[in-house]
Structure formats: C-alpha cells, structure tokens
Amino acid sequence: MLLIHPPVVKPCEPPPGIAKIAGAMHRNGIHCTVLDANMEGLLHLMEGPQRSSDKWTARAARNLSNHLHSLRSRDVYDHFDRYKRAVLDLNRLVEMSTTVSEGSRVGLGNYQHAELSPVRSEDLIRAAERPEENPFFPYFSRRIGQILDHRPYKVVGLSLNFLSQALCAFAMMGFIRKEYPELTLALGGGLVTSWMRRPGWRNPFGGLVDEMVAGPGEEALLSLLGTGGKSMEHCTPTYEALPMEKYLSPGAILPYSASSGCYWNRCAFCPERAEGNPYAPLPVKRVLQDLNILVAQTRPVLIHLLDNAVSPRLMKGLALDPPGPPWYGFARITDHLADPDFCMALKRSGCVMLKLGLESGDQEVIDREEKGVDLAVASRALKTLNQAGIATYVYLLFGTPSETLNAARNTLLFTVKHSDCIQFLNLAIFNLPVYGPEASGLETKTLYEGDLSLYTGFSHPLGWDRGVVRQFLDKEFKRHPAVAKILRNDPPIFTSNHASFFRKLTMPSTASEISACRSSAI
C-alpha cells in the first residue's frame, strides 16, 4: 500500500494522518510506503529553475542552501529578522516557480488557481483530467512512478485535510488512474470527512475514487486489502519511514492526537457539532505510553498536541509523567490555568506554549455563543501562565452573530489590558457553517461558490457584516500600539507551528532530570 500526503501545507512537521495509518498497517503485517509529497514537492519547486530574474528571486536562489540549513538549525530562531528573510525568500522561490499565465499561485502554505476552485467538484474533476497542468506534475509524475514501478501495490491512499491540498490531490489521483488503472484509489482525511458528513452527501467522484473514507481510515483500508484482525484496536503512529530531518524546523516536531472531537462541544456555530463529531479521547495512560515510544523513535525537539483542546486530565497526566521534550497545543481557558501550582507543574512538564481560544473580550458575546469562558478567569489565566513562563497564542474571532462594534471594542480593550501576558495573536473573521443548526435562523447568502463549500455568508442581524469587521480590524484593532507589537511577533507563514521556537526551549536531557520533573509535579 502507498500512502500520500499531497501539497500544499506548511512543510515544518510530518503528516500525522498517514503516520497513524502506517502504524495500523505495520501492526497488521501490511507493507506500507509513505510519501510526503508536500515536503518533497515544495523542495522540488524551490530547487528548480525560477521564472523571474528580479533581484529578490535571484538573491533567494543564491541563498537557498543557506536558508534551508538555517531553518533546520537553532541559531536563526534567535534572530527574528534573519528567520523572516529565510522564510520569505524560500516562499518567493516557490511562488516564482510558476507563472501567472499558468493560473497557479503556490506558496509554502497555500495553493490557489485562478480558474479552478477546491470547493467545486467539477473543478476537482477537471484537475484530475488534466494533471499535467498542475505545478507539481513534473515532480509527482516521476516520484510516484518510481515508487509504483518498484514493487506491486494494491491500494493508493491520499490524505486530504485542507482545501490547499485538494487540487493537487485530485491531479495526483488523475495521474495514477491514467497510468495505473488497476490500482484501488482511496481518499480520506479531515476535509473529506467534512464533505461526507454534510446532509444529503452524494459522491461526485465515483468514476475516479474507488473508496472515500469519513473519519479514521484504518479499518476501511484494511478491508480494501482483505485484512481484518487488529483494525479496531488503537495503534501507535509510526514516523520511521518519513524523512524527519528534511522538514523546515530546527529538529523533528512530533505531532500527536490524544483525542478526536472536542470535550466541550457546546459552542454555537461549531463545525464539530455541525458534523456530529463525537468526543473520543484515548486513555491518558495510553497517550503517555505512545509518547514515550514516539519520543524514542523520533527524538523530537518539540511535541505538537493536535487535540481540539487538550483536556485538564491529560495535562495532569503530562505533569505527573513528563514526555521529555517541550510540548504545546490548544487548551480551553478553565480554572486549572488560573492555578499557579498547576501552571508551574505544566511548565516543569515541558509545556512551552498554549493556544487559547478566547474568541472575544466581551462577556455577553461569549455567553451567547456558549463558549463557556469567564473573562475574569481568562484574565487570571493569562497572568498565571505568563508568570509560569508559558507563552500564550490567543485566538480572537470577530463578526459572530451576537457581536457588535462596541463588543469588538471591548475585545480590543481586554487585549490591550493583557498585552503584557499575550505573546502571539490570531485574528479571524467568523465563517458560518453551512449545515449548522444555527444557520437556519439567519439570512444566508453565498460566500464561496461551490457544491463542496462548508461555509456560507449571512446578513449579520446587527449590521456587523464582514466588510465592516475587516475595516475595524485594519484601521482600529491592528493599529493599536499594544496590539501591533504582539502581531509583529508572529512568525510569517509558519505562525503557531514555529512560534514555540522563539521561546527558550529546555529539554530534560537525562533520566534523573525527567524524574525530578515528575516528583515535583502536582
């Protein structure tokens, strides 16, 4: 079996989805080849001939090797300007590897086409019918051919999680279907799951894809291969077949999911609720066992916990049994994070940063959107985390149906008041899930043209529409000196994936140091 991670996503860490499936295949005795076509494809574009001779592109090409080396080493993260130049130069090389006339715009974190949309099934089919028009075709036609010609395969599975991957994934499938028609093509991943859980879903790709999989793909793939047995048991992911040293980070990042769904699962307009995704956590003991195995396997410099929200129970488990390397992830703002002893225990366990979905600095908005956050607790949590030395990457959401200009200004006031406790900010404008239960109470309108769109536009009941929100963010929120200072900290393109590296990461290097962390935990 061949598993493919298609372009384009940020090439800073290995793909967790195919690592999880590879672990299940290995456990069931199935030969499995994994291909990170995203990382390899982006490197191919950087190293290829550029279509422009302007000074920026020429400088970037001259410094390609130095930039790749610097992003894979630690020193450049101590010098933000040098880091920024390296990232933007590499992004420039990727951008200039294609021409505007070809209709493609590629970057280190995105792929767009002037004519083809990833939310229109007919455009995805067209991408499959004309794979040679994809900017990654020279790479993937050769690379996939090398793999498939080397030994017999039965199934090729592609993991499609983001819209930025969709056009490339379908171009790859079109190439495989044309050149290797005997193979079974399977398509899964987070984006595919969202498509398939829409009410009234009908597969428009029947002539191309043999199997579309919603949710975990292990059982479906094992069934395609004619194997049963241990498919329903949890399997530790394996990253052994992935080139950990080639990602654009100063050492290996280990991504790991300890749960699916969200333990809160009450927020209004939540995509998880709209799709009916249940909360399914692994036992804390099993998570800690997995992390011990994976740390020994990959020797990471950072663990990235992928959960929608790391539960307080898991945080306590990490504090009592530290995994060794530093770690970060999303967390809900709860009383736990306002407890100095709890936060110090997290810090000792290796927690370097928490991403916090504050969403709003107006309590009425938070309550109406059922976020379950108390601003008084949030205030104490930000201060306590800051005192413990844990960075915060705070997420704010503007334009929700219950927000007004005055409420948005309250968010600005809250942010400014706590600006000394917030190291990074993510600002987003609200998108309405097209099939969420709350959408029926709003006047909706087209936001993204396409039969696969997951979001819809709406007329804001209080007149706080997207254009007005965007104007407020650009002309008022972002221009406040305290906010602007925080925004300047954000690593370009890689954002939260690299943010931890701008903190002082410390790793217990011996068993006795890890034991000391455990003995001093709460």
Q: Provide the CATH number for the domain around residue 440.
A: 3.80.30.20
pLDDT value of position 101: 46
CA distance 286 to 427: 35
Q: Are residues 198 and 320 in the same domain?
A: no
pLDDT value of position 216: 87
Type and span of the H or E element at 16: helix 16-27
The answer on pLDDT for 473 being more than 50 is yes
Within a domain: 144 = yes
Q: Are residues 255 and 220 in the same domain?
A: no
Within a domain: 85 = no
The answer on pLDDT for 522 being more than 90 is no
Within a domain: 489 = yes
Binned at pLDDT 50, 70 and 90, residue 506 comes out as low
User: How many domains would you assign to the chain?
Assistant: 2
Binned at pLDDT 50, 70 and 90, residue 385 comes out as very high
Q: Are residues 21 and 155 in the same domain?
A: yes
pLDDT value of position 521: 47
Within a domain: 77 = no
What 3-state DSSP class applies to 238?
coil
Q: Are residues 206 and 312 in the same domain?
A: no
pLDDT digits (tens, 9 = 90+) for 137-160: 999 999 999 999 988 899 999 999
The answer on pLDDT for 53 being more than 90 is no
Q: Are residues 281 and 402 in the same domain?
A: yes
Q: Please, which residues have CB within 8 angstroms of residue 245's CB and are 6 or more apart in sequence?
A: 72, 252
Percentage of residues in the chain having pLDDT higher than 90: 78
Percentage of residues in the chain having pLDDT higher than 70: 94
Question: Tokens representing 74?
Answer: 């630690």
CA distance 517 to 325: 12
Within a domain: 166 = yes
Question: Tokens representing 195?
Answer: 């498509």
Binned at pLDDT 50, 70 and 90, residue 508 comes out as very low
Nearest CA to 484 out of 493, 497, 475, 496 is that of 475
Average pLDDT over residues 224-241: 79
Taking every pair of Cα atoms in the chain, the longest distance, rounded to a whole number of angstroms, is 64
What 3-state DSSP class applies to 184?
strand
CA distance 495 to 492: 6
Type and span of the H or E element at 2: strand 2-5
Q: Are residues 166 and 268 in the same domain?
A: no
In this structure, of 98-102, 216-220, 241-245, 340-344, the range with the lowest mean pLDDT score is 98-102
pLDDT value of position 49: 75
Please give the DSSP secondary-structure letter assigned to residue 5: E
Binned at pLDDT 50, 70 and 90, residue 433 comes out as confident
For strands 444-445 and 455-458, give the pairing. Answer: antiparallel
CA distance 404 to 425: 21
Q: Are residues 399 and 287 in the same domain?
A: yes
Average pLDDT over residues 223-228: 81
Which of 224, 241, 270 finishes a domain? 224
Within a domain: 88 = no
Handedness of CA 131, 135, 138, 139 (dihedral sign): negative
What 3-state DSSP class applies to 273?
helix
Edge-to-edge order in the sheet of strand 302-305: 253-256, 302-305, 327-331, 351-359, 391-398, 424-429
Spacing of C-alpha 412 from chain mean position:
26
DSSP string, 359-420: E-S-HHHHHHTT----HHHHHHHHHHHHHHT-EEEEEEEE--TT--HHHHHHHHHHHHHTGG
Within a domain: 244 = no
End-to-end CA gap in the chain: 45
pLDDT value of position 507: 52
Q: Are residues 368 and 446 in the same domain?
A: yes
In this structure, of 56-60, 349-353, 443-447, the range with the lowest mean pLDDT score is 443-447
CA distance 274 to 455: 11
Q: Are residues 431 and 488 in the same domain?
A: yes
CA distance 128 to 220: 23
Residue 464 and residue 457 in contact, taking contact as beta carbons nearer than 8 Å: no
Average pLDDT over residues 45-68: 89
Within a domain: 193 = yes
Which of 182, 206, 224 finishes a domain? 224
The answer on pLDDT for 440 being more than 60 is yes
pLDDT digits (tens, 9 = 90+) for 61-83: 999 999 999 999 999 999 999 99
Residue 35 and residue 147 in contact, taking contact as beta carbons nearer than 8 Å: yes
* Domain range enclosing 296: 251-519
The answer on pLDDT for 178 being more than 70 is yes
Question: Tokens representing 322?
Answer: 């530290």
pLDDT value of position 511: 42
E strands in 241-350: 253-256, 259-260, 280-281, 302-305, 327-331
Question: Tokens representing 340?
Answer: 């100095």
Q: Are residues 329 and 265 in the same domain?
A: yes
CA distance 327 to 121: 38
Q: If DSSP states are collapsed to H, E and C, what string results for 293-320?
A: HHHHHHCCCEEEECCCCCCHHHHHHHHH
Q: Are residues 257 and 214 in the same domain?
A: no
pLDDT value of position 273: 72
Mean pLDDT in the chain?
A: 92
pLDDT digits (tens, 9 = 90+) for 78-133: 999 999 999 999 999 999 987 644 678 999 999 999 899 999 999 999 999 999 99
Q: Are residues 218 and 262 in the same domain?
A: no
